Structure 1
Amino acid sequence: MADRYDSFAALAAREIEGAHYRIRVAQRASPLAIVAPHGGFIEPGTSEAALAIAHECFSFYCFESLTLRAKGDGLHITSTRFDEPQALQLVAASEVVIGVHGRKNGDDGASVWVGGLHEALRDSICAALLDSGFRAKPVGEGHPLAGRDPRNICNRGRCGAGVQLEIPRALRISFSHDEASRHAFADAVRGALRQGG
């Protein structure tokens, strides 16, 4: 289904910040930024996962819908067109960007699909998640959620290659009531970023 808005300017012309959406951003002395462009009610649980990964270490950005909308009437702007100014400013100042997204379970409600153009870091994150007891799959060229378009927000850092995490709905729901699991997930990703970022 097509997005209702094809740019942030179109969204901001009709939606009210503080009522319909909010933006959270923290720029830190780090070359890495953790970005959740579809937080709040858009892809529930992604902003919490991104914040847990960023912790006090990495820069953080989240765009969150504050209202539950009918299907197809949300505030989702696809990652290749996501152009909210604060997000663009943060990613332009960052060496590497990690995009945190939510996906439908489909026939795999357990695996985190890890994509993006930074293949070495993608593989390191997969390995770290597997070592921590999570299921993770590297996804590449031809996969619909591979995050390989250079215009994708995760690939718009200074090095031109980032990582996209697609977390299934079932895992995001489990994180909402299992804080230890959410922190274990975040610790695994953060550990891989510290080693490879």
Structure 2
Amino acid sequence: MTSSDHTASRRTVLTAFAAAAAAGAPLIGQLAAATPAAAFDPNSTTEYPSNTKLYQDPDLVEGNQYGRRWRRHDRFDVKLSEKSDYARTAILALHGGGIEKGTSELALGIAGYDPGDLVGADNLPAPAILPTTYDYFLFEGLLSEGNKALHVTSKNCDDHIALSLARSHFNVLSLHGCTFDQIKLPTSEFPTTGNRAVAVVGGLNPAFRAALVTEIKNAGFQAVDAYNSKYSSTLGEFNGSHVTNPCNLTMLGMGAQLELTGELRASLFGDYDSRSGRATTWNQSGGRFEAFRDACRRAVATVEATQPIL
């Protein structure tokens, strides 16, 4: 989900006002030297302005409140007589875990891995479950509740690993979550009492968007192109258009983004509500997870087929 920009700081300056009054010191000087005093609030609606600021919050500990997982596959060319392939696509879930539920599990599936089994024997990476794999990055909220407070708007993402993956690939597919009511699609085509499981396809790569819409629809799901004039008037915050959105920070300067409604994401799991439930029941949705995963993988393959390594 792409949130509106917030200009207010996460930390209140009231402490600085109180300190200045008590000390009789000039207010400006006290404000300049003030140290943020408010503890992390899981109910806050004010976003961190960047991943850097989130990581610097002393109230948050990586591995406790949030976590990151990533994989860059080992590819190499050591033979002058042969031409080897190069990794062209990376899969991102910038708001995974409990922030936008289901996006990290789906990202792992599209990347070719079992969402519930990434660690094998002796803590070595578990093998892929599909023959073709993609590099991936996940930022995941690990709180029991209030994970929305860990959301950083995509265009403000400055995580070094996420950005390095994006900039070293031709394509990025970034997965996000939204609600059906937020996207405000025409009720004539998408009545509020009808099928609310919808994928909004964005990003600046029109060929990638077209492939995703086609494959997702062919797999039996609803999908709309955020740039289609029928829908674009209400999808400005969900179209992945910003040039600093990691999906567009590729070698080509464009990529793709999926905004998936809660109803769609929930339908991909036997147990959607908990992290452990999603990890263990992705293959208990009557084939819907696999169908959506494979539709995205076919779209990636379609786009990559037009991108030879020169």
Q: TM-score range by the shorter chain?
A: over 0.9
Does 2:173 match 1:88?
no
> Which runs of no fewer than 5 residues in structure 1 stay unpaired?
none
In 2, Cα distance between the equivalents of 1:70 and 1:196? 37
1:4 pairs, out of 38, 47, 55, with 47
Does 2:288 match 1:181?
yes
Q: Percent identical across equivalent pairs? A: 33
In 1, Cα distance between the equivalents of 2:151 and 2:303? 30
Amino acid at match of 1:35: L
Aligned CA-pair RMSD: 1.7
Partner SS for 1:80: helix
Question: What is aligned with 1:110?
Answer: 197
In 1, Cα distance between the equivalents of 2:64 and 2:159? 17
Structure with more contact order per residue of length (Cα contacts < 8 Å, sep ≥ 6): 1
Question: What is aligned with 2:146?
Answer: 70
Count of aligned positions: 196
Amino acid at match of 2:259: E
Partner SS for 1:113: strand
> Which runs of no fewer than 5 residues in structure 2 stay unpaired?
7-45, 76-86, 113-127, 182-191, 271-284, 305-310
Question: What is aligned with 1:58?
Answer: 134
Partner SS for 2:156: coil
Q: Map 1:1-197 to 2 at 5 A.
A: 2=6, 3-14=46-57, 15-28=60-73, 29=75, 30-55=87-112, 56=128, 57-70=133-146, 74-106=149-181, 107=192, 109-140=196-227, 143-144=235-236, 145-177=238-270, 178=285, 180-197=287-304
Structure 1's consecutive aligned runs of 4 or more residues displaced over 3 angstroms after TM superposition are: 68-71
Amino acid at match of 1:135: Q
My pick for the range that moved more, 163-172 or 27-36, is: 27-36
Q: Deviations over 1:27-76 (max 9, x none)?
A: 124210010000011101000111111115111110001004438x6110
In 2, Cα distance between the equivalents of 1:24 and 1:179? 28
Partner SS for 2:47: coil
Amino acid at match of 1:193: V
In 2, Cα distance between the equivalents of 1:123 and 1:195? 10
Amino acid at match of 2:47: R
Q: Deviations over 1:90-140 (max 9, x none)?
A: 111111111100011214621100011001110111001111111110012
In 1, Cα distance between the equivalents of 2:67 and 2:198? 29
Residue 179 of structure 1 and its aligned partner are, at CA, apart by 6.2
In 1, Cα distance between the equivalents of 2:269 and 2:298? 22
In 2, Cα distance between the equivalents of 1:46 and 1:88? 18
Residue 169 of structure 1 and its aligned partner are, at CA, apart by 0.2
Normalising by structure 1, we get a TM-score of: 0.93
Q: Deviations over 1:141-186 (max 9, x none)?
A: 6522110111111101111100010111011111121162111101
Which structure's residues are more often strand, by fraction? 1
